[in-house]
Each structure stands twice: as C-alpha cells, then as structure tokens.
Amino acid sequence: MIYINMLKCVEEINESKRFKAYFSDGTTTRFGQTNPKTGTFIDHQDKQLKKNYIKRHLKDLETNDYNRAGYLSMFLLWNKETLKDSIKDLNIDVYNNERRKFETARIERFLTGKL
C-alpha cells in the first residue's frame, strides 16, 4: 500500500492561486482564490457561508482525488477553523481511505483465491 500525505501547505500568492500544497510524492497543487470577496472558512469561520460553499462544490469531490484543487479547497479552506487542523484532518482521511481500499482489495483477492 502506498500512502501519500501532504507535507505542507503554504500561502504563496501568485496571480491565480492563494496556496500551494506539497505532497510526499513530490507533486504540488496550487489552489484557492487569491482575492475572495468573503474569504474562506479559515478566514472568517462563518458556518452559513461554509454550508453554502459545500453545497455549491460537492461535485469537486466526485474524483476522490485529494491532489486536485477543488478537493483541497473543500478540505483545507472550508473544513476546520485553522489550516493546520484542516491539514491534519485531510491526512487522516486520506490515510483511512487508502487503508480501506487496500483492505477491500485484499479481501476480494482472498475471496477469489488470487492471494
């Protein structure tokens, strides 16, 4: 099982994105608006704005790819009250999801006799 976690996420504002995430496999992803009108949940902690954002952006989770900008925005900028807490939560979720996929595949191999 290969588990890739986020090493760090830094505010690195450029002309199009506010943050850059660095992953243990060497990949990076830029995400987040550079000048949002109302900010994000880590900026204002407004639960109603968070609820509205999540409703509008649920489609971003369909890929189940935590390296994508939409996925990172949802789980880092609109999850917990601080970026640090959101990163910790994302790494736990990714680990648990990868572990579940590994265990499911192992059970399927066992049941089909392909172990």
pLDDT digits (tens, 9 = 90+) for 3-29: 567 678 888 877 788 999 998 888 899
pTM, two decimals, is: 0.78
pLDDT digits (tens, 9 = 90+) for 86-115: 988 888 888 888 778 777 777 777 778 765
| Domain residue spans of the chain | 6-112
State the sign of the Cα–Cα–Cα–Cα dihedral 89, 95, 30, 63.
Answer: negative
